[in-house]
Amino acid sequence: MPGYTAPTRDMQFVLHDVLKVTQTGIPGYDELERDVTEAVLAAAGKVASEVLAPLNPVGDRIGCVLENGVVRTPEGFKDAFAAMKDGGWTSLDCDPAYGGQGMPYLLATAVGEMFVSANMAFNMYQGLAHGAYSAIHAHGTAEQKATYLPGLVRCDWTGTMNLTEPHCGTDLGLMRTRAEPQDDGSYRITGQKIFISAGEHDLAGNIIHLVLARAPGGGEGTRGVSLFIVPKLLVNGDGSLGARNAVSCGKIEQKMGIHGNATCVMDYDGATGWLLGDLHKGMRAMFTMMNEARLGVGLQGYAVGEAAYQNAAIYARERLQGRAVTGAQNPGGPADPLIVHPDVRRMLMDQKSFLEGARAFTFWGAHLIDRSRRCGDAEAEGLVSLMTPVLKGFLTDKGFETAVTAQQIFGGHGYIEDSGMSQFTRDARIAMIYEGANGIQALDLVGRKLAQDGGRHVMAFFEMVKTFLKENEGDAALKAGFLDPLKAASKDLQAAAMFFMQNGVKTPDAALAGSYDFMHLFGHVCLGLMWARMGRAAMAALAAGAPDRAFLEAKLATGRYYMARQLPMTATHLARIRSGADPVMALPAEAF
């Protein structure tokens, strides 16, 4: 059975050596002293390793069962969910006014990585509660907040997001679910929603569905769509639970992975709902939560990859097979461990260098979200908006690749479900699809975010890279391994952006044909920047005589690997982008 060990040391390095959280001046960050975060991460890591990880293969094997409208989660999920609640893990960054602990989103992100690594499907139940919490907290009336938030914060109740219908996924303008206004100010919601994660289950006393639907007078397309609160059980004025609402789970989908989470077809049959936020502005309400939600999915991508990697590394150290080409390394044994073989090393280094870069990138993004929220910093908000599609698209693509590579190290054993490696691959696959398929992320990046606010945010990003390079140009130790590759990659990114500016207006297809490559090119530059910062931080710590030299030296070697072996991809992405729309669009539809 696969195991999981929380990478606390790596997280501490990002928080304190790279982001230097206590020096940021962000309200609440002053509490994130090294020993505080150490204690929180250690405690969360214990829950992840001891409670959640053992249930991961159980959830995959048993899955969820729908019987007479009731969904049963896998054996052990109820107890684990109770343990999460009791430990206060569901309310870390929630508003103290509603029972939350008011900690930075960054800290919740670090803890979230551990829980996702340990058991992605399980963690989605509380993740969706948190999503509903965020939506109601941002857009609800005082009464709605008082009614729904405490239950969601404690995870006595969970939440859902209802967007997709059978005939409309990405294109929500096609939505058919109707909301009819009632005299008492409520709405009657009628329609079918599909792919509703945690739509029905037995872990919580109530489920607060957030449903996009079309109310009269809103016009065609997405403009006419509003967001509604539709609780499974109606909540009485005194907060007690009342009658069952007219919403039910019609079916559970059989999926490739995340079997432990119930993906439901939800039927709304004149269910009672209440408008959340402004009428006909439902899409806007959804969008305000998008940075956080998409960062959360990007995190899923690499966090599952992290769990897969850890198990692959152990296997590579323990499994004896073949001899090192440079001479036996384990002469007393029947063979050398897999890890002596250069190509096995390559696979491990690909994983490790991506994962550590992805963690830094995600933590940096979470820190920008805190900065924008807690300091009202519009620049931080703009920057993280720009990078959100990269965080989601790049990290989930590469996270899946990481899981596949980890599985590969196990050889045939990786294909057998017993090893648990197949589950990581199957689970990681969904993150590339949901919360906006990765092609949509690329479209958002190139079609929307690049030019947002007059292109100010992408210019700010380039400026930041330039400043970093300039600040460190005298550092000979950093130059060849880190600065030069970052400079080259950043140049490729600028050239690609320039290509879009020159061609995008007269040939929009030319920009969109290169959008996916641009997203990956951007992702590599972001990870390159993260590695350059980590490289500098590691060198600084070594120079300051930090005691854990082996850890810091490994950090430097891992960074050099990323720069030498992954960053050269930017040239290929640029070449593809520059080939423009013609090769992509040449064929008539019937030629496929």
How many residues bind its own copies (CB under 8 A)? The answer is 97
d(CA 24, CA 233): 44
Give the SS3 label for residue 217: coil
Count of alpha carbons within 13 Å of 579, Cβ hemisphere only? 13
Subset of residues 188 to 247 that bind its own copies, contact rule: CB under 8 A: 194-195
Residue 464 CB, nearest distance to its own copies (Å)?
Answer: 25
Strand partners, 265: 251
Residue 127 CB, nearest distance to its own copies (Å)?
Answer: 17
Strand partners, 190: 178, 269
Residue 572 CB, nearest distance to its own copies (Å)?
Answer: 5
Subset of residues 348 to 377 that bind its own copies, contact rule: CB under 8 A: 348-349, 352
The dihedral region occupied by 500, where left means phi > 0, alpha psi between -120 and 50, and beta the remainder, is alpha
Using CB under 8 A, which of the segments 46-54, 120-128, 377-385, 581-589 binds its own copies?
581-589
Task: Rank residues 99 and 508 by Cβ distance to its own copies and give the closer one.
Answer: 508
Given 88, 239, 242, 342, the residue binding its own copies (CB under 8 A): 342
Residue 195 CB, nearest distance to its own copies (Å)?
Answer: 5
Residue 418 CB, nearest distance to its own copies (Å)?
Answer: 7
Given 28, 76, 169, 250, the residue binding its own copies (CB under 8 A): 169
Count of alpha carbons within 13 Å of 65, Cβ hemisphere only? 7
Closest CA to 371 of 385, 350, 357, 359: 385
CB 196 within 8 A of CB 160: yes
Give the SS3 label for residue 74: coil
The 294-313 contact track toward its own copies, x by CB under 8 A, reads: -------------------x
Is residue 435 flagged as an active site residue?
A: yes
Task: Rank residues 334 and 376 by Cβ distance to its own copies and give the closer one.
Answer: 334
Residue 158 CB, nearest distance to its own copies (Å)?
Answer: 20
Given 334, 376, 545, 547, the residue binding its own copies (CB under 8 A): 334
Task: Rank residues 134 and 353 by Cβ distance to its own copies and give the closer one.
Answer: 353
Phi, psi of 180 (to 5 degrees): -105, 125
The 18-57 contact track toward its own copies, x by CB under 8 A, reads: ----------------------------------------
Residue 450 CB, nearest distance to its own copies (Å)?
Answer: 14
Residue 266 CB, nearest distance to its own copies (Å)?
Answer: 14
Residue 91 CB, nearest distance to its own copies (Å)?
Answer: 30
Phi, psi of 188 (to 5 degrees): -105, 120
The 71-110 contact track toward its own copies, x by CB under 8 A, reads: ----------------------------------------
Strand partners, 66: 71
d(CA 522, CA 387): 9
Task: Rank residues 20 and 167 by Cβ distance to its own copies and give the closer one.
Answer: 167
Using CB under 8 A, which of the segments 79-87, 160-168, 230-238, 539-547 binds its own copies?
160-168
CB 122 within 8 A of CB 48: no
Given 1, 39, 378, 575, the residue binding its own copies (CB under 8 A): 575
Using CB under 8 A, which of the segments 201-209, 236-244, 293-301, 329-337 binds its own copies?
329-337
Residue 547 interacts with its own copies (CB under 8 A): yes or no: no
Q: Following DSSP, what letter does each residue of 314-373 receive, concatenated?
A: HHHHH-B-S--TTS-SSTTSSS-BGGGSHHHHHHHHHHHHHHHHHHHHHHHHHHHHHHHH
Burial class (CB in 10 A: 0-12, 13-18, 19+), 41: buried
Given 103, 204, 316, 496, the residue binding its own copies (CB under 8 A): 316
Please identify which residue in the block is written with the tokens 């069962």: 65
Closest CA to 264 of 200, 320, 218: 200
d(CA 394, CA 513): 17
Residue 506 interacts with its own copies (CB under 8 A): yes or no: no
Residue 218 CB, nearest distance to its own copies (Å)?
Answer: 17
Q: Which two tokens stand for residue 258?
A: 């995340």
Closest CA to 529 of 117, 9, 19: 19
Given 244, 466, 470, 565, the residue binding its own copies (CB under 8 A): 565
Q: Which two tokens stand for residue 230?
A: 């539709």
The 404-443 contact track toward its own copies, x by CB under 8 A, reads: x--xx--xxxxxxxx---x--xx--xx-xxx--xxx--xx
Count of alpha carbons within 13 Å of 427, Cβ hemisphere only? 38
Task: Rank residues 205 and 333 by Cβ distance to its own copies and give the closer one.
Answer: 333
Given 513, 534, 537, 539, the residue binding its own copies (CB under 8 A): 513
Using CB under 8 A, which of the segments 136-144, 168-176, 230-238, 450-458 binds its own copies?
168-176
Closest CA to 310 of 270, 358, 351: 351
In sequence order, what are the residues at sequence separation of 6 or more whose Cβ sits closer than 8 angstroms to the Cβ of residue 557? none
Residue 568 interacts with its own copies (CB under 8 A): yes or no: yes
Using CB under 8 A, which of the segments 71-79, 373-381, 533-541, 550-558 binds its own copies?
550-558
Residue 339 interacts with its own copies (CB under 8 A): yes or no: yes
Using CB under 8 A, which of the segments 8-16, 107-115, 146-154, 340-348 binds its own copies?
340-348
Task: Point out the catalytic residue in the list 113, 435, 463, 471.
Answer: 435
Given 140, 257, 365, 535, the residue binding its own copies (CB under 8 A): 257
Task: Tell me, letter by letter, the H, E, C secondary structure of 275-304.
Answer: ECCCCCCHHHHHHHCHHHHHHHHHHHHHHH
Sign of the alpha-carbon torsion through 31, 34, 36, 42 = positive
Residue 311 CB, nearest distance to its own copies (Å)?
Answer: 11
Task: Rank residues 22 and 408 by Cβ distance to its own copies and give the closer one.
Answer: 408
Subset of residues 458 to 497 that bind its own copies, contact rule: CB under 8 A: none
Given 130, 201, 280, 560, the residue binding its own copies (CB under 8 A): 560
CB 7 within 8 A of CB 15: no
d(CA 409, CA 390): 28
Task: Rank residues 21 and 163 by Cβ distance to its own copies and give the closer one.
Answer: 163
Strand partners, 210: 161, 229
Any idea which residues carry the catalytic annotation?
Answer: 435
